[in-house]
Amino acid sequence: MEEKTLFINNLEANFKIAGQGPAVLILHGWGGSSDSWIKIQEILSEKGYKIICPDFPGFGKSKTPNEAWSVADYARWLNRFIESQKLDNFFILGHSFGGRVAIKFVVMFPEKIKGLILCDSAGIKHKPDLKTKIIFELSRIGNMVFTPRLLTRFKDTARNIFYIFLRRKDYVKANGIMKEIIKKVLEEDLLPYLAKIKTKTLIVWGAKDKMVPIRDAYIFKERIKNSKLEILPGIGHSPHLENPEQLSKIILDFLNRL
């Protein structure tokens, strides 16, 4: 396995590449990096595939953007990366946040993709339930409470607690411009994009995923017509870390059939 760097849009980007054969591009989730997928890279590359896994800008060893990027900005960056690697007719796998970028990319550049794999993919923005509405109302009240100058320093802590209740821990962990990026990313609902995906798609989901609910898996399956759904019993949000061998087998079954 090789680790390389290149410059795209004046940003230094890091990526890992392993194996020879049909290309599979792996897009990691928020807070992850190419390091998160080393075991999967090793297994798939040994089975005759060329596996490429970049660190998104702001993650791993790649530099952080100077402004708040949207999902579309990441998809355009990804297109530049793909052009630099001279990839065509390849497979793309997106996990969590990487799934968001994969969805946007495959709709923007459908002619480049041979097959799509969405693993516990984020992207659907649900209407707030009663609990969430109550939390939002408490947040609104909190903004007023913490307005006085002496209390302003406690505002960020209160906001972080609010996001923990919403299970948006990625926001809590983000700093600086990355906090602005995750806010922009979470605001976008990719549900309307799903029906536009014509590429043959494998949807893989951990049955015990607490970050992105399993109900989303069935929405993905319903909206993406040319798709197959695989549910992993006893697995949470990160199948690539919890059971890489099982995930690799499912991925290989899909790749080998195309």
Q: Residue 150: what pLDDT?
A: 46
CATH superfamily name and code, 2-125+189-257: Alpha/Beta hydrolase fold, catalytic domain (3.40.50.1820)
Q: Flag whether pLDDT at 162 surpasses 50.
A: no
The model's pLDDT over 206-224, given as tens digits with 9 standing for 90+, comes to: 999 999 999 999 999 999 9
222/228 Cα distance (integer angstroms): 10
Residues of the chain with CATH 3.40.50.1820: 2-125+189-257
pLDDT band at 175 (very low <50, low <70, confident <90, very high): low
1/52 Cα distance (integer angstroms): 10
Average pLDDT of the segment spanning 25-29: 98
Nearest residue to 64 (alpha-carbon basis) of 4, 2, 9: 9
pLDDT band at 165 (very low <50, low <70, confident <90, very high): very low
Q: Residue 166: what pLDDT?
A: 43
Q: Flag whether pLDDT at 159 surpasses 60.
A: no
The model's pLDDT over 53-76, given as tens digits with 9 standing for 90+, comes to: 999 999 999 999 999 999 999 999
Q: Flag whether pLDDT at 43 surpasses 50.
A: yes
Q: Flag whether pLDDT at 171 surpasses 60.
A: no
More confident residue, 187 or 150: 187
